[in-house]
Amino acid sequence: MEIVKVWSGLTYGDAFMPVEMQLTYGPGLPVFHMVGMVTESTEEAKERVRYALKSIGRSMPQGRVVVAFLPSELTKSGSHFDLAIVYGFVKGSSDRLIVGEVALDGSVRTTQHSLRVIASAYRSGWRKFICPVLPQDVVGVMPEADFFMVEHVQQLLSDSGEKPSPTSSSDVPALDAFEDVQGFGLKQAALTAAAGWHHLLLMGNPGVGKTMVAERMNAVMPELDNSERLDVLCTTGTLSAVRPYRFTSWTSTPAGFFGSAKGVAGEVTLAHDGILVMDEFPQYRKDILEGLRTVMDTNSVISSYGNQRIVWPARFLLVATSNPCPCGFLGHPKKVCKDSPYQVQRYLGRLSGPVADRIDLHYWVKADEPDAKLDKPRDRVLEVWHRQRERWQGTGFSHAGQIPGDRVDELISVSPTVRAALENAVEKHGLSKREKHKIIRISRTIADLEGHVDITVAHLVQALSYRMVLPWLRSLIQ
């Protein structure tokens, strides 16, 4: 009894798992079995494969047909196994990774899951693929890959592959994204956050432009490089030069926000290497806000379900917005806050100390803030990115905001004068050790934005101001 062996795969989070598929048939009643913990979406391949073979004048082998998916203890889900099954029936064994969905008429199609499998396999070392016709930009992020691309299963017989489809043009963000934003300090805070990959919390009264700035943050971020584009392709199955941008809702559930072990990515993963916007930050569920702490520390999400454990990547830049109180008018120069001190304390209490500590920049957005033009914000951010990457090359860190607290003193040099001023500020305001390290990191980014080699006291003072918003708000109700 001959056994045909072909290879396909699946993804667990951003990890690739190769799947060996063994096909065999023999005498017996006509039946088509799939074994190896396959889901309904994979079981449906039976009919797709049957009719795809008919489209090229072939038929299913007579008798008892068995397709085994190995290793058998992993759940197999998706239609991307179709092409591997057809190839096994038509051509026999292959050492190439075969991925693609097959339609009833024999056409071969690309799905997001297919692209995730191909990208994850490439990153894990696979180089030879049989797959649907891929766009040119997808092929470009995998320069060492040997693709045999087919548009129809008939091409498996003739050994004639297709060329990549043309690249669709990407929308490049405008360089003047903050042109209609009022408030120079607000624009400077957003620029600092983008330049150093510092998480940002914008607080202020209703209608001052918090959400508008959050929506424009992605436009000042540099485009994805080739490695980041491959990462995004592995996690989402989509590809764009523009960084991922996810505007989330406070009605989100933990599974929708963080992802599930059943293979569904959450908002934090869909924002990987991009921006995650959380509007009305204190309104989010407490388990989401507290769960965000671990995600921001580890840049990943761990989901467990039965014997399955999935690690999702989640390295994002958080931009959160918040009113200062339930009615929104605490700190307003003309309107009076109608909330009691207890209501305000309860509202601000949702921004617990550990959560607020992990957000680098806190900025109070004023309605009457003086304005000035910010020249070429995207170019300035790109210059800081180049400068910081060169400075910390070989350390594993590309941005000041990504340096952990135990490496800050090692990687960021501070003069004795600035160090003394920092220690005085820490003692005066009762800042935590984490806040102290954040002030150093923010000061480094501010200095880089201004083209300074060394951090000055002025940079330190500006960075310190980004940690004083919440204490100021709490002082208003005492």
102-106, 224-228, 261-265, 356-360: which has the minimum mean pLDDT?
261-265
- Angle at the Cα of 260 from the Cα atoms of 67 and 354, rounded to 5 degrees: 155
CA distance 390 to 111: 38
- 């910081």: which residue's tokens? 388
Share the mean pLDDT of the chain: 90
CA distance 144 to 147: 10
pLDDT recorded at residue 373: 84
**Cβ-contact 194, 263 below 8 angstroms:** no
Going from N- to C-terminal start, the domains of the chain cover: 4-158, 184-475
Which CATH class, in words, describes the domain spanning 4-158?
alpha beta
pLDDT recorded at residue 168: 56
Residue 395 clears pLDDT 70, i.e. is over it:
yes
**Looking at the DSSP assignment, which residues form a beta bridge with residue 226?**
none
pLDDT recorded at residue 158: 85
Residue-wise pLDDT for 293-326, tens only, equals 999 999 999 887 666 778 889 999 999 999 999 9
pLDDT bracket for residue 354 (50, 70, 90):
confident
**Cβ-contact 444, 194 below 8 angstroms:** no
157-171, 243-257, 412-426: which has the minimum mean pLDDT?
157-171
DSSP per position, 163-229: PPBPPPPPPPPPTTTTTT---HHHHHHHHHHHHHT--EEEEESTTSSHHHHHHHGGGGSPPP-HHHH
pLDDT recorded at residue 75: 87
Residue 165 clears pLDDT 70, i.e. is over it:
yes
pLDDT recorded at residue 96: 96
CA distance 401 to 329: 31
Beta strand residue intervals within 240-359, DSSP E: 245-248, 275-278, 300-305, 308-313, 317-322
pLDDT recorded at residue 86: 96
pLDDT recorded at residue 349: 85
The region that residue 425 occupies, defined by phi over 0 for left and psi between -120 and 50 for alpha, beta otherwise, is alpha
Residue 172 clears pLDDT 60, i.e. is over it:
no
- Identify which of 73, 70, 81, 67 has the alpha carbon closest to the alpha carbon of residue 34: 67
pLDDT recorded at residue 478: 67
Residue 112 clears pLDDT 80, i.e. is over it:
yes
Mean pLDDT of 115-144: 95
33-47, 96-110, 143-157, 252-266: which has the minimum mean pLDDT?
252-266
DSSP per position, 112-139: HHHHHHHHHHHHTT--EEEEEPPBHHHH
CA distance 85 to 24: 11
- 């056409």: which residue's tokens? 107
CA distance 377 to 220: 6
| Homologous superfamily assigned to 184-475 | P-loop containing nucleotide triphosphate hydrolases (3.40.50.300)
First to last CA, the chain: 83
